[in-house]
């Protein structure tokens, strides 16, 4: 919810523009009420005040940030149109190419891999007038729901240090929740945008495969499984900011062979939604079930028909296919590199995965792709009936930090509603709707048909309007 005019005046007078939304900042900078330079200076001050406690931003250059802002102010003074993100501070995940910066992907082995060109997403943000504030932490190989690595260290959840900030976009979500940047860039191959947003108490949107052009010039071509599942997308503290960021990110680039020039707004569909509290017997936390009920009621009050359904098309099966697509091709090469890197958590993951990989048949990749077509077809038929599905992001609220080192079974058994979506190729969004008494975020997941992010954002805005507002965390540990 936008602050009152008096509150806005106070924020500006007290030089706390980091409290404002991306949408507000862009209007204020474009109108000349705030300079991009002052926004950048205040964003850096906030970063330097809170980042030592959470270690979310692991690479930033103050001089570069201020130089970007100065150029934006000069262009505005010359009467140029700067773009829809004029002066908005945005963080970039450290597994994504940003010219002149290392794409470490959380690895000692890549600490000197300096990008000589921008990833398309990064370039689109620059073209829209954003200020690239800093680069956010990720686990080694961007392969965990916990954000810790040998190169950059441990990132913490700013709302509750005992909880994971999520992964792999854990640094992105932790920074955003703390007021470091008004938007955050993330990537998602198994929940890496949605889970950190869920864990840190912000919103995260995983776009449809092909919606956002995404390619790292510094890296080798990825195998087909990751290509079919990995996307880039935004994290934000409001649904309006997700919509703004998606519009900027969803621009063409010939380097992404999966990009599709689909319209951001599709033809109207019936306002009919399904809500499922416990898909396939998921032991959903009562707090999440409560928020799903509230979300359904908010939609009904806005004219939606919402059916509570006992079952959805399978999520467990595509979640298992996600592992096959990820691991069936190139596993031994990954294991070799992981041995060189020496990250204990990743080595444990690989050791656990080896048994799964050893049981895969010789035609695993082909058979997995065939099964993928079947489960996508089942979901497409369901989404022809329902424009929107509300379901849990996971069984539990944010997990204890580093749980995969002590209880990997507990960690993995409730995650299939999140892991399934990349196999299906459809858009999904986690929406934070409440905080518990111990500052644990509570949220829900929304999904829809391919290239219908507009429906998710419309419904998300309705739900957000009746939910607890997303607050900025003040790490006190």
Q: Are 121 and 233 in contact (CB under 8 A)?
A: no
Averaged pLDDT of the chain = 97
Active-site residue 192, yes or no?
yes
Q: How remote is the C-alpha of 380 from its chain's centroid?
A: 24
The catalytically annotated residue of 17, 23, 35, 93 is 93
pLDDT > 80? residue 3: no
pLDDT for 234 beyond 90:
yes
Identify the three-state secondary structure at position 321: helix
pLDDT for residue 28 is more than 60: yes
Which candidate in 168, 178, 230, 320 is catalytic? 168
Sign of CA dihedral 264, 187, 126, 253: negative
Look at residue 1 in the predicted model and tell me its pLDDT: 41
Residues β-bridged to residue 367? none
Has 302 been annotated as catalytic?
Answer: no
Q: What percentage of the chain carries pLDDT values higher than 90?
A: 96
Q: What confidence tens digit (pLDDT) does each residue in 10-19 have? A: 899 899 999 9
pLDDT for 476:
86
Omega before residue 168 within 30° of 0, cis: yes
pLDDT of residue 224: 96
Pairing of strands 131-136, 89-93: parallel
How far is it, in rounded angstroms, from Cα 65 to Cα 43? 10
Residues facing 204 on adjacent strands:
235, 430
The tens digit of pLDDT for each residue in 72-86 reads 999 999 999 999 999
Model confidence pLDDT, tens digit, residues 368-427 = 999 999 999 999 999 999 999 999 999 999 999 999 999 999 998 999 999 999 999 999
Q: One of 192, 223, 320, 387 is an active-site residue; which one?
A: 192
Q: What is the mean pLDDT of residues 40-47?
A: 98
Note the pLDDT tens digit of each residue in 129-178. Answer: 999 999 999 999 999 999 999 999 999 999 999 999 999 999 999 999 99
Active site residue 324: no
Instruction: With a cut of 90, say whether residue 4 has pLDDT above it.
Output: no
Q: Spell out the domains of the chain, with CATH numbers in brackets.
A: 5-330+364-465 (3.90.1300.10)
pTM: 0.97
């Amino acid at each position: 919810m936008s602050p009152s005019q008096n509150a806005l005046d106070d924020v500006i007078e007290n030089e706390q523009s980091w409290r404002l939304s991306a949408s507000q900042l862009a209007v204020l900078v474009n109108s000349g009420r705030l300079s991009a330079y002052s926004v950048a200076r205040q964003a850096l001050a906030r970063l330097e005040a809170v980042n030592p406690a959470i270690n979310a931003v692991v690479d930033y250059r103050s001089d570069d940030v201020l130089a970007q802002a100065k150029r934006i102010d000069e262009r505005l003074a010359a009467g140029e149109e700067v773009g829809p993100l004029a002066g908005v501070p945005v963080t970039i995940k450290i597994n994504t190419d940003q010219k002149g910066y290392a794409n470490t992907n959380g690895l000692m082995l890549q600490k000197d891999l300096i990008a000589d060109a921008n990833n398309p997403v990064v370039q689109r943000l620059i073209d829209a007038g954003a200020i690239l504030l800093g680069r956010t932490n990720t686990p080694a190989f961007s392969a965990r729901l916990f954000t810790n690595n040998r190169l950059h260290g441990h990132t913490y959840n700013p709302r509750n240090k005992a909880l994971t900030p999520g992964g792999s976009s854990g640094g992105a979500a932790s920074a955003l929740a703390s007021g470091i940047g008004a938007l955050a860039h993330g990537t998602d191959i198994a929940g890496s945008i949605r889970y950190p947003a869920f864990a840190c108490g912000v919103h995260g949107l995983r776009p449809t495969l092909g919606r956002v052009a995404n390619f790292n010039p510094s890296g080798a071509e990825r195998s087909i499984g990751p290509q079919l599942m990995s996307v880039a997308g935004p994290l934000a503290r409001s649904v309006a900011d997700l919509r703004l960021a998606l519009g900027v990110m969803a621009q063409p680039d010939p380097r992404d062979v999966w990009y599709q020039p689909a319209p951001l707004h599709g033809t109207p569909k019936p306002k009919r939604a399904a809500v499922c509290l416990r898909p396939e017997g998921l032991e959903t936390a009562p707090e999440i079930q409560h928020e799903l009920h509230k979300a359904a009621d908010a939609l009904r009050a806005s004219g939606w028909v919402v059916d509570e359904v006992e079952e959805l098309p399978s999520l467990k099966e595509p979640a298992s296919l996600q592992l096959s697509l990820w691991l069936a091709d190139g596993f031994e090469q990954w294991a070799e590199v992981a041995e060189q890197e020496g990250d204990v958590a990743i080595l444990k993951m690989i050791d656990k995965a080896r048994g799964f990989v050893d049981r895969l048949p010789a035609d695993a990749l082909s058979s997995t792709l065939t099964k993928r077509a079947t489960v996508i077809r089942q979901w497409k038929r369901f989404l022809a009936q329902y424009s929107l599905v509300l379901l849990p992001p996971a069984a539990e609220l944010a997990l204890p930090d580093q749980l995969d080192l002590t209880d990997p079974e507990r960690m993995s058994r409730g995650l299939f509603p999140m892991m399934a979506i990349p196999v299906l190729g459809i858009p999904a969004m986690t929406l934070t709707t409440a905080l518990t008494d111990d500052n644990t975020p509570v949220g829900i997941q929304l999904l829809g048909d391919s290239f219908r992010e507009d429906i998710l954002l419309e419904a998300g805005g309705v739900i957000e309007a009746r939910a607890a507002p997303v607050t900025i965390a003040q790490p006190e540990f």
